[in-house]
Structure 1
């Protein structure tokens, strides 16, 4: 079995033929929509539902100021350590843990933890910790900055920030280069910290790419809060339905979905051959292949976002303004699809490459150390050695994400569309979801 860059195997990983998986997934999605149409006739999802209160002792520990201070301190120390390793430590990128910290723990680990525990980046973000400390010293509220965050920006700055990351990972000629990774990390920390100081917490909520990503997937958690701030257990569907509608939300979702699809697509032999020919034809220069990868990445993102916008607007009975706004109001339905692809695309990468990154912390400063006896540890290939199980997890993750996305879109359409257009107004979106399912599974297993 071949293990690719993110530990994603091919169609041979599936316990059933890929064609059957594609047909079954499409039928399951279609039947789910049919059931929703006949059994889910009125809006049901209430993001303000009371939920089930967690034990007072648990809530007291989670919300204790001391616990928040401790996590902030750990975050600052960890960030300082990673930067010290990046600037002063192991110079060989293959032996440095810094690229793994960025690509595995921050980009994959934080979102996966957010799926379970909610928007954890708000708590462990180093820029947030610095901002809290400065506000405490200055006696200034966290939400007050030097200037007000422009509402017209929405989440477009976060979409741009996310694109810079996926460009580094998928289009840049040397994505694992220690210099490139360090530059992105320092740039992210500097821009986010300055943004928080200038605009207050509104910057983190709208413009910090990692926080927007974590908060988006954190809506899939069963943990939520009442209007009073009390921590409760609530249906993840209800939490997802409460996702704030913000300008640029579709761009954020399209960047995450499109980049994941492009990552799988970039493993196709004909694409690799095209890049190889471009490199050899330009005298070994990386400029032309990088440009081609950049255009490919942009193409996937624009295609995903454009198809979703067109499908969401393909309904009657709405005013031109409402039709223009409806894609943003339905953007939350893409969140579970993003979550499904994260699990399918990155699960092996997180579990197995994550172990390899931890092992590299044995001697981060190239001093011949063996911290915690890590140097003698071997990676346990827990998933790669069980291809049938891995293939099943990937198919179920993608399928479940799409089914939940259809349910969220259906419930929101019941609120937004006139009664006469509730069914016909969703058909284009339903066909788009089926298309995403087909394409996603095909790219995932045929790459």
Structure 2
């Protein structure tokens, strides 16, 4: 298995091989969004998705589960051992563990088990131990609220830059360097600022917490089946939340765009690629902010708060895009990564990869388009309900028109990049 086999691909054979007519997919998706909004506008006139009174991170939230903390430490030792002690070439399974099992696998894990990353995080365990030894469990410096999610947004962009814009994303040295810097910064930040650092600055911790808002079976890390659209609005509103979610969405769009023939046929410097990646993320953020504030009847302070209050509506789109782009990558290439990790322990010989999804291209195409459309429809529902809550009654309908146009634009662009490049 080469490093190119481990890097993100959009299905086997590329998006253009999917047997779904592009025009039908785009028109169908746009109509689905428009009809959804029309139904919501006339049949859903009062907010119905009010979250429960308790807030995450409060006194009722359970403590970290020690047995999961031990599991997290063992997994971290396994993956890091493979990365730093394994082969110095593309056969190192630690690279795949980093890109496949951790980055892509984090999303289905959070959807199934909630914010279990908080229990698994080895860095939280190190901070807990240092806090007990020093008598400073909450750190030495108070984390300033004004910093919000900006450190996490920067960390997320650093990861997607490594994956999508760095000169050699599959270089063992590059991945080792990135991981080493990440571990040092994350542990040091946790020791200095306490657990709040992980809640706001650790990119993987924040990513897990954001996606976990859509977990239907777990809430506040407890088994509690519920309507995830009621827990989604509990995404904490803090500076930088729009930037963090926009990096996730914009980088996925750039990932698909960078696989296009037009992009691949031309030579691009690292600087150019980095700037285009940044541009994708900025465009997503600016467009969302502009659509959020395009309403009347609000004060300047209320208008400034609207993007943060609506930011949770982007989460279903991010999740839909991740499954559309990377589910095949996780299921099939992930098998190869696990086999490689097992072989380092003297096991796994004789195991082979099953290409269960790639062998059914019709199903592959349907689920790709379906995940994109479903993500946008859920986003429209979430945005509509929140708009009913925060917009003045006279502007509840007109104040959402810009957001509808944006959602249609996101859908058109997403499917275009998915199927036509």
Question: How far did residue 234 of structure 1 move?
Answer: 1.4
- Tell me what 1:315 maps to: 295
1:100 aligns with 2:103: no
Q: Residues 360 and 375 of structure 1 are in contact (CA less than 8 Å); yes or no, is this contact kept in structure 2?
A: no
SS in 2 for 1:75: helix
Question: How far did residue 17 of structure 1 move?
Answer: 1.2
- Tell me what 1:154 maps to: 148
Question: How far did residue 127 of structure 1 move?
Answer: 0.1
- Tell me what 1:30 maps to: 34
Q: Which moved more, 1:329-338 or 1:5-14?
A: 5-14
Aligned counterpart in structure 2 of residue 326 of structure 1, from 306, 310, 316: 306
- Tell me what 1:128 maps to: 124
- Tell me what 1:358 maps to: 338
User: Matches of 1:326 and 1:420 in 2, distance apart?
Assistant: 16
Question: How far did residue 362 of structure 1 move?
Answer: 4.4
> Structure 1 unaligned runs (5+)?
51-61, 279-288, 365-369
Superposed CA RMSD in Å reads: 2.0
Runs of 4+ in structure 1 over 6 Å off: 62-65
Q: Residues 110 and 209 of structure 2 are in contact (CA less than 8 Å); yes or no, is this contact kept in structure 1?
A: yes
Question: How far did residue 194 of structure 1 move?
Answer: 1.0
**TM-score by structure 2 length?**
0.92
Q: Residues 243 and 332 of structure 1 are in contact (CA less than 8 Å); yes or no, is this contact kept in structure 2?
A: yes
1:343 aligns with 2:323: yes
1:79-120 C-alpha deviation (Å, 9 max, x unpaired): 22332332322111x211111111101111012210121112
- Tell me what 2:163 maps to: 169
Within a 5 Å distance, the mapping from 1:225-244 to structure 2 comes to 225=219, 231-244=223-236
- Tell me what 2:9 maps to: 6
User: Matches of 1:403 and 1:350 in 2, distance apart?
Assistant: 24
- Tell me what 1:56 maps to: none
Q: Residues 247 and 281 of structure 2 are in contact (CA less than 8 Å); yes or no, is this contact kept in structure 1?
A: yes
- Tell me what 1:284 maps to: none
User: Matches of 1:189 and 1:431 in 2, distance apart?
Assistant: 41
1:253 aligns with 2:253: no
- Tell me what 1:443 maps to: 417
Aligned counterpart in structure 2 of residue 85 of structure 1, from 82, 92, 99: 82
1:257-290 C-alpha deviation (Å, 9 max, x unpaired): 0000000000111211222xx5xxxxxxxxxx11
Question: How far did residue 225 of structure 1 move?
Answer: 4.1
Q: Which moved more, 1:154-163 or 1:106-115?
A: 106-115
1:210 aligns with 2:204: yes
User: Matches of 1:269 and 1:231 in 2, distance apart?
Assistant: 46
User: Matches of 2:352 and 2:263 in 1, distance apart?
Assistant: 34
Question: How far did residue 399 of structure 1 move?
Answer: 0.7
Aligned counterpart in structure 1 of residue 284 of structure 2, from 298, 304, 316: 304
Question: How far did residue 133 of structure 1 move?
Answer: 2.4
Alpha carbons of 1:419 and 1:64: their partners in 2 closer, same or farther (altered >3 Å)?
Answer: closer
- Tell me what 2:355 maps to: 381
SS in 2 for 1:371: coil
Alpha carbons of 1:230 and 1:123: their partners in 2 closer, same or farther (altered >3 Å)?
Answer: closer
Q: Residues 214 and 229 of structure 2 are in contact (CA less than 8 Å); yes or no, is this contact kept in structure 1?
A: yes
Q: Which has the larger radius of gyration?
A: 1
Question: How far did residue 195 of structure 1 move?
Answer: 0.9
> Structure 2 unaligned runs (5+)?
55-60
* Count of residue correspondences: 408
SS in 2 for 1:187: helix
- Tell me what 1:48 maps to: 52
Aligned counterpart in structure 1 of residue 109 of structure 2, from 93, 102, 113: 113
